[in-house]
């Protein structure tokens, strides 16, 4: 009796992955264009580049995207972010290093990344409403949506993180 195809070997981290950005470049290019529009919207809303990078990093921490963490850590440093704040970002609620606006933005980014927590989402949105205007809220939600998409591309493609020159 034939019970179907033979079982496949378990996928290992070293198995070659399809780089979906390279395999389907038109879709990836559309995502890049979206990211550029979101970056412009954030700038038009008056959001500091450091705040945008904090959101990119926090979402990438949640999604465990090593590639995006590497890219956006370097971008945050170039934008003038401190190593102390970057080092404590995962525990931002437990420090006094982040402003009320930054806390609201980080909570909103987390709620966008994990929308199943309806009560947490409502709290995050209420906190954002107290300190951010409509344009800032919209831009921050789009920043979180966009980095979530890039995180999925990199995580599922297993984009490698290579040592930096001189590291």
pLDDT digits (tens, 9 = 90+) for 45-79: 999 999 999 999 999 999 999 999 999 999 999 99
Which residues 6+ apart lie within 8 Å of 21 measured at CB? Answer: 28, 153, 157
Tell me whether residue 5 is in a domain. no
Q: SS3 of 148, please?
A: helix
pTM: 0.88
Residue 29 lies in a domain: yes
Domain of residue 134, residue span = 24-157
Structure tokens at 30: 């559309």
User: What does 73-136 look like in DSSP terms, one character per residue?
Assistant: HHHHHHTT--HHHHHHGGGGGG-S-S-HHHHHHHHHHHHHHSTT-HHHHHHHHHHHHHH--HHH
What's the domain count of the chain? Answer: 1
- In our burial notation (b when 16+ CB lie closer than 10 A, e otherwise), range 148-158 reads bebbebbbebe
CA distance 13 to 45: 41
Instruction: Tell which residue, 161, 117, 147, has the closest CA to residue 39.
Output: 147
List the CATH number of the domain containing 94.
1.20.1290.10
Residue 2 covered by a domain: no
Contact 93, 124 (CB under 8 A): no
pLDDT tens string for the chain (167 positions)? 444 444 344 445 557 889 999 999 999 999 999 999 999 999 999 999 999 999 999 999 999 999 999 999 999 999 999 999 999 999 999 999 999 999 999 999 999 999 888 899 999 999 999 999 999 999 999 999 999 999 999 999 999 999 888 76
The pLDDT assigned to 7 comes to 39
Return the structure tokens found at 117.
């927590």
Does residue 12 form part of some domain? no
Domain annotation covers residue 67? yes
In the numeric block, which tokens belong to residue 97?
A: 């290093």
Residue the block writes with tokens 């993180």: 161
């Amino acid at each position: 009796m034939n019970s179907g195809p033979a079982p496949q070997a378990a996928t290992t981290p070293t198995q070659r992955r399809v780089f979906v950005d390279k395999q389907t470049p038109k879709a990836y290019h559309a995502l890049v264009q979206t990211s550029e529009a979101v970056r412009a919207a954030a700038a038009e809303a008056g959001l500091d580049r450091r705040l945008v990078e904090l959101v990119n990093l926090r979402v990438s921490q949640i999604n465990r995207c090593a590639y995006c963490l590497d890219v956006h850590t370097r971008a945050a440093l170039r934008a003038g972010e401190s190593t102390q704040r970057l080092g404590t970002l995962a525990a931002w609620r437990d420090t006094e290093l982040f402003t009320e606006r930054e806390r609201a933005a980080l909570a909103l980014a987390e709620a966008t990344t994990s929308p199943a927590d309806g009560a947490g989402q409502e709290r995050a949105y209420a906190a954002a409403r107290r300190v951010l205007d409509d344009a800032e809220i919209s831009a921050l939600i789009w920043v979180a949506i966009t980095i979530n998409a890039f995180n999925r591309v990199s995580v599922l493609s297993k984009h490698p993180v290579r040592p930096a020159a001189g590291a």
